[in-house]
Chains A and B, each alone.
Chain A
Amino acid sequence: MTENAGFQTVIDRHALPDQRGALLPLLHALQEEFGHIPQPAVPLIADALNLSRAEVHGVISFYPDFHTEPPARHVIKLCRAESCQARGGAAIEGELARHLGVAMGHARKDGQVALEPVYCLGLCAIGPNALIDGRPVARIDTAGVEAIAREVEA
């Protein structure tokens, strides 16, 4: 039961009675704390905010930021949008996928690294860009790919 107790503490902190539309902030907090929102947390969230389980499930499944599976140890969010493509983003995506042995939009089987798409980080003049575990990295070239690979394999 401790797993649920963990969720409950985060939920109690965020399910303030007077905060309207509290679901997204609460889901962000759980995602932040546990790296994902497992199915057993949904009934606790629904009860705290007096929503149906269906509503909570519908919202979790809508937004890409909310995952229902445990996260990989490292997460690379590589930008696939037009400005980065104009600066060679597609080629870098191929190199990074080959180098790490993981397809875009997937986590490697060993759980070490996940390569996720992101559509624009707002660094559109210095692409190709990525967030490596939340840290912005710009002008990624072949050397950049190798540096990223070293970092996430550690």
Chain B
Amino acid sequence: MTFTREKDFGTPAKHGETVSLTIDGQPVSVPAGTSIMRAAAMVDTAIPKLCATDSLESFGSCRLCLVEIEGRKGYPASCTTPVAPEMVVRTETDKLRKLRRGVMELYISDHPLDCLTCSANGDCELQDQAGAVGLRDVRFGYEGANHLEGCKDESNPYFTFDPAKCIVCSRCVRACDDVQGTLALTVDGRGFASKIAASQGEDFLSSECVSCGACVQACPTSALIENTVIDKGTPDKSVVTTCAYCGVGCTFRAEMRGEDLVRMVPWKEGKANHGHSCVKGRFAWGYAQHRDRILNPMVRTSVDEPWREVSWEEAITHVASEFRRIQSSYGTRAIGGITSSRCTNEETFLVQKLIRQGFGNNNVDTCARVCHSPTGYGLKTTFGTSAGTQDFDSVEQADVILVIGANPTDGHPVFASRMKRRLREGARLIVVDPRRIDLVRSPHIEAAYHLPLQPGTNVALLTAMAHVIVTEGLVDEAYVRERCDGEAYAEWAAFVSEPARSPEAIEELTGVPAADLRAAARLYATGGNGAIYYGLGVTEHSQGSSTVMAIANLAMATGNVGKPGTGVNPLRGQNNVQGSCDMGSFPHELPGYRHVSDNATRALFEADWGVTLDAQPGLRINNMLDAATDGTFKGIFIQGEDILQSDPNTKHVAAGLAAMECVVVQDLFLNETANYAHVFLPGSTFLEKDGTFTNAERRIQMVRKVMEPKNGYADWEVVQLVANAMGLRWTYTHPSQIMDEIARLTPTFAGVSFDVLEERGSVQWPMNAAAPEGTPTMHLDQFVRGKGLFVVTDYVPTDERTGPRFPLLLTTGRILSQYNVGAQTRRTENGAWHAEDRLEIHPHDAENRGIRDGDWVALRSRAGETTLRALITDRVAPGVVYTTFHHPDTQANVITTDFSDWATNCPEYKVTAVQVMPSNGPSDWQTRYREQSDRSRRIATVEPAE
């Protein structure tokens, strides 16, 4: 579509009964509370404005938008004056024109005059309005006091702040305050001397700014502008697509100049992000054109040899023949594959189809194994379906927000901004986390209760909360009676009521004062709409599934499921981890969470695919690696995952991969797993293909091709090449056909198609005859399984115990600027914020080990050792240390063990017994690993055989 700047109505939309008035003789009807400016814009009357924009509440400072209202003296500003019945408004009179020119004359008496070479030329509201009001002369002249001498702030790698171009409209300050909620900007000084400042008048990079880009987007001039626009010029067309980073699923306008991507601007119509963004989606997209991109297929017979570039034809036939060879010599189940939660639904569906139809087994798994597989198991068992119950908008009606095992401001920043806005409006917050995450206390936000529990004791704490709710009679009896399985409830209620489950009984174990726990439980049960948001801090434990079920129990017991403002909401990590689970990436179920042993379901697929399917569940990732070391699993196809860096117990993963005969990796860059690969098939980025992602609120959204794939093929095309090389005769020409197949075979997706998504922008599954509009909130009248099932969850301590050798507990997490294994974000400027993984350690623990802030320390567990630099902070409790796993050279996962969730084998990243000692440099393992990794990344420079 040609480049039409999104229409700006000037003030946000309001809801309420209709009010009718006339503007310039034209009748208009709008909801009560709507500004005259917005009403006029709705009938295409563009009243001049500069400080108003519809993503922000009206401010009334520029005074350009004055109008005349019959029966009212003076010239009220149309942005701050709501409509009233029978109001008669005039937006164009001689007096108004004179006043607007007068205001503009003042603006231009203190503004640079280099429009023609300005980086916002053609995209500047001051320029537009100067034209609109017909300014012809600045009678004050240009030599009065002015702000032309301020120097530019180019500290932020992504945008430049030029104070000389600033008209002090405060749109940036308000965007930072209301939309993002960081409040990092202010006006400094007053009167004519007023100027925009970050924090205490510092440069943006050293200020409190988190670089979300909202201020740059809100700025009407070139005072705040993207560096890519300065370098490349203003864009001329745009495509709406969905971000490929976290599970919030923000939609963006990818703005182009020809084939060149200039900037990503959040899309106002986006139902998940409503026009907001974070540093990753907004700015960190440079990796797509990074020189590390592998563009040609490569093959080698052994991992010790350098890579050999080959044609697509040779690579694909090599893969097909190797897999067939392995199956003939080691059996059908000797090969398998891993789908990516960063590729599209269509691509994930094809990989599991390749494995089930082509390989003839169910050996398919996905990275959800290591993050939210317990959510799948836990919510399916209690509610009947494996997905979160609400949409993101639901948080706007929450009265009590319980965040457990999640760090939204780092992991899901755009949703965190909406949560913070609700908290600023007065909702109460409970945080359960060993670490004092930012949400516990940051400007204008303070948790009513922070329960800093010992890592690994979630189930004990949640069951104790249940104890309080049941024994103090806070259960929503009517709800439970009507909506839940009575027998299961009775058993559960009896179990949690036992004294051993009381807060007092588990106070010593969890380290959480009983009084705080009781108060938090009472608040959640009685504080109105209770909404629980949780993340990997719940799932990545040996009792991950039990914790999810304990959460579900609390929600059911207090009637907090099945209406807006409540629910059990998993904050899923990656952009399409929800989609990859929906598409049947788990070895035990077909798309739509239907078990492989379900004959009716299998028959449906067998009829469509013309093969008989294996009725037995396949191998999980860790089982594949075990089988590999046992010599019974020899070949694997890994699309868009780096299990060597992201999965636990790196040595175990390495051993498994090394034992295989054909490891095929499809990715953008050579990654750690590729060190053990025999075939490398170049992947494509989300900018280079069509398809859909499904975010954490089950919202399916379009991903649209913005540029041709640099590597020649979209990922689904590569999978089709492999499939057809194995004789499957697939004939897809466009991802929409794959979605039609998914809809055909999956009841919860029956109504989904690319046409429907084009028309509605996005839709939340289930979407079928029973739910023609999709399902924002699930379990409305009854649970998907009929009656909500209470499940008794008893605390079973993990086998990963601290002791004299390993006295501290390590937990892991993520930071705003880096993403997952950092493959994408490390190839952007985001290193400016987090260039290396750091070990957070409490002052006491550091002191008695002689460790100072910034020192190199050795981090050792039963599984392995690595070194990184210490960061001394009281964010973590004594006895607990914390780090991230974004940078391969720290290889944090060499430390994590194989312990995992009893039901799903989701690894226990969050609890590892470790010791920390001062160190003088990288561990031997790290140096050996570095050498091996460099050796295996060599690419022979010989020309590929034609």
Contact = CB atoms under 8 A, between A and B. Distances in A.
Direct contact of A and B (CB under 8 A): yes
Interface of A: 39, 42, 46, 50-55, 57-58, 61-62
Contacts of B207: 53-54
B188 A57 contact: yes
A57 B443 contact: no
A62 B200 contact: no
Contact of B183 (A39, A42, A52, A62): A52
Contacts of A51: 183, 443-444
A52 B176 CA distance: 11
B189 A54 contact: no
B721 to A, nearest CB: 53
B446 A58 contact: no
Contacts of B183: 51-52, 54-55
Nearest to A57: B200
B184 A52 contact: yes
A57 B444 contact: no
Contacts of A54: 183-186, 197-200, 207-208
Given A52-B182, A52-B184, A52-B208, A57 B441 contact: no
B446 A53 contact: no
Q: Which of A51, A55, A58 has the most CB of B within 10 A?
A: A58
Given A51-B443, A52-B443, A57 B189 contact: no
A61 B443 contact: no
Interface in B444-503: 444-446
Contacts of A39: 200
Contact of B444 (A42, A50, A53, A62): A50
Contacts of A52: 182-184, 199, 208, 443
Interface string B190-231: 100000011111000001100000000000000000000000
B190 A53 contact: no
B189 A62 contact: yes
A148 B189 CA distance: 31
B792 interface: no
A58 B182 contact: no
* Most chain B C-beta atoms within 10 Å of own C-beta, residue among A42, A46, A50, A52: A52
B187 interface: yes
Nearest to B184: A54
A133 to B, nearest CB: 26
Nearest to B198: A54
Given A54-B186, A55-B186, A42 B208 contact: no
A57 B186 contact: yes
A39 B200 CA distance: 8
Nearest to B209: A54
22 contacts: A39-B200, A46-B443, A50-B441, A50-B445, A51-B183, A52-B182, A52-B183, A52-B443, A54-B183, A54-B184, A54-B185, A54-B198, A54-B207, A54-B208, A55-B186, A55-B443, A57-B186, A57-B188, A57-B200, A58-B187, A61-B188, A62-B187
A55 to B, nearest CB: 6
Contacts of A62: 187, 189-190
A52 to B, nearest CB: 4
A50 B188 contact: no
Contacts of A57: 186, 188, 197, 199-201
B188 A53 contact: no
Interface in B142-184: 182-184
A3 to B, nearest CB: 17
B337 to A, nearest CB: 48
The 3 closest A-B pairs by CB, nearest first: A58-B186, A52-B183, A54-B186
